[in-house]
Protein backbone atom coordinates (compact mmCIF):
# COMPACT_ATOMS: atom_id res chain seq x y z
CA UNK A 1 0.00 0.00 0.00
CA UNK A 2 1.05 3.58 -0.60
CA UNK A 3 1.05 4.34 3.13
CA UNK A 4 3.56 1.58 3.88
CA UNK A 5 5.87 2.83 1.15
CA UNK A 6 5.42 6.40 2.37
CA UNK A 7 6.21 5.32 5.93
CA UNK A 8 9.32 3.49 4.75
CA UNK A 9 10.51 6.53 2.81
CA UNK A 10 9.88 8.81 5.78
CA UNK A 11 11.73 6.50 8.18
CA UNK A 12 14.69 6.29 5.76
CA UNK A 13 14.73 10.10 5.60
CA UNK A 14 14.70 10.31 9.41
CA UNK A 15 17.56 7.77 9.67
CA UNK A 16 19.71 9.93 7.38
CA UNK A 17 18.72 13.11 9.22
CA UNK A 18 19.51 11.73 12.68
CA UNK A 19 22.73 10.05 11.56
CA UNK A 20 23.99 13.31 10.05
CA UNK A 21 23.11 15.12 13.28
CA UNK A 22 25.14 12.55 15.23
CA UNK A 23 28.06 12.88 12.81
CA UNK A 24 28.00 16.66 13.32
CA UNK A 25 27.79 16.35 17.10
CA UNK A 26 30.30 13.57 17.67
CA UNK A 27 32.72 13.85 14.73
CA UNK A 28 32.40 17.56 13.92
CA UNK A 29 34.38 18.38 10.79
CA UNK A 30 35.06 14.74 9.98
CA UNK A 31 34.39 13.26 6.59
CA UNK A 32 30.89 11.76 6.43
CA UNK A 33 29.33 9.67 3.70
CA UNK A 34 25.69 8.81 3.06
CA UNK A 35 24.57 5.87 0.94
CA UNK A 36 20.90 5.17 0.27
CA UNK A 37 19.67 2.37 -1.96
CA UNK A 38 15.97 2.04 -2.74
CA UNK A 39 15.35 -1.48 -4.02
CA UNK A 40 12.11 -3.25 -4.80
CA UNK A 41 11.94 -4.97 -1.42
CA UNK A 42 13.93 -2.68 0.89
CA UNK A 43 15.55 0.68 1.43
CA UNK A 44 19.07 0.44 2.80
CA UNK A 45 20.80 3.37 4.46
CA UNK A 46 24.39 3.68 5.64
CA UNK A 47 25.83 6.86 7.09
CA UNK A 48 29.37 6.82 8.40
CA UNK A 49 31.93 9.31 9.59
CA UNK A 50 35.65 8.62 9.59
CA UNK A 51 36.52 9.84 13.09
CA UNK A 52 38.82 12.61 11.85
CA UNK A 53 36.81 15.50 13.30
CA UNK A 54 36.72 17.09 16.69
CA UNK A 55 34.78 15.52 19.54
CA UNK A 56 31.69 17.65 19.77
CA UNK A 57 30.24 20.74 18.18
CA UNK A 58 27.07 20.89 20.25
CA UNK A 59 25.86 17.70 21.84
CA UNK A 60 22.39 18.97 22.59
CA UNK A 61 19.22 16.97 22.11
CA UNK A 62 17.25 14.42 24.08
CA UNK A 63 19.56 11.46 23.54
CA UNK A 64 16.55 9.47 22.26
CA UNK A 65 17.20 9.99 18.55
CA UNK A 66 18.88 6.67 17.81
CA UNK A 67 16.64 4.71 20.17
CA UNK A 68 13.60 6.26 18.52
CA UNK A 69 14.89 5.32 15.08
CA UNK A 70 15.55 1.76 16.21
CA UNK A 71 11.90 1.58 17.29
CA UNK A 72 10.57 3.13 14.07
CA UNK A 73 12.62 0.79 11.87
CA UNK A 74 11.61 -2.17 14.04
CA UNK A 75 7.90 -1.39 13.74
CA UNK A 76 8.27 -1.68 9.96
CA UNK A 77 10.08 -5.03 10.33
CA UNK A 78 13.52 -3.65 9.50
CA UNK A 79 16.99 -3.79 10.99
CA UNK A 80 18.93 -0.92 12.58
CA UNK A 81 22.37 -0.52 14.10
CA UNK A 82 24.46 2.40 15.29
CA UNK A 83 28.06 1.82 16.34
CA UNK A 84 30.88 4.07 17.43
CA UNK A 85 34.43 2.89 16.83
CA UNK A 86 37.42 3.50 19.11
CA UNK A 87 38.76 6.04 16.60
CA UNK A 88 35.63 8.20 16.94
CA UNK A 89 34.08 7.00 13.67
CA UNK A 90 30.33 6.50 13.78
CA UNK A 91 28.32 4.16 11.54
CA UNK A 92 24.54 4.01 11.26
CA UNK A 93 22.96 1.26 9.17
CA UNK A 94 19.30 0.57 8.45
CA UNK A 95 17.41 -1.87 6.25
CA UNK A 96 13.77 -0.89 5.95
CA UNK A 97 11.25 -3.05 4.07
CA UNK A 98 9.95 -1.03 1.12
CA UNK A 99 6.35 -1.98 1.90
CA UNK A 100 5.23 -2.52 -1.68
CA UNK A 101 2.49 -4.79 -0.37
CA UNK A 102 2.01 -6.74 -3.62
- Each residue's pLDDT tens digit, 11-46: 999 999 999 988 888 777 889 999 999 999 999 999
Q: Is residue 102 part of a domain?
A: no
Residue (of 28, 8, 43, 35) closest to 92 by Cα position: 35
Contact 27, 52 (CB under 8 A): yes
Instruction: Render pLDDT for 31-86 as a digit per residue (tens, 0 to 9).
Output: 999 999 999 999 999 999 988 887 665 555 555 788 889 999 999 999 999 988 77
The sign one gets for the Cα dihedral 1, 42, 39, 18 is positive
Give the pLDDT score at 71. Answer: 93
Q: CATH code at 90?
A: 3.30.565.10
Q: Is residue 84 part of a domain?
A: yes
pLDDT, position 63: 57
- Range of 38's domain? 2-57+65-97
Domain count, the chain: 1
Interatomic CA distance for residues 100 and 53, integer angstroms: 39
Q: Of 7 and 63, which is predicted with more confidence?
A: 7
Amino acid sequence: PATATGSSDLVAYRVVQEALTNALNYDHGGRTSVRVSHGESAITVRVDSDGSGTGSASAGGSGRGLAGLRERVGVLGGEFSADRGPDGAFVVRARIPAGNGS
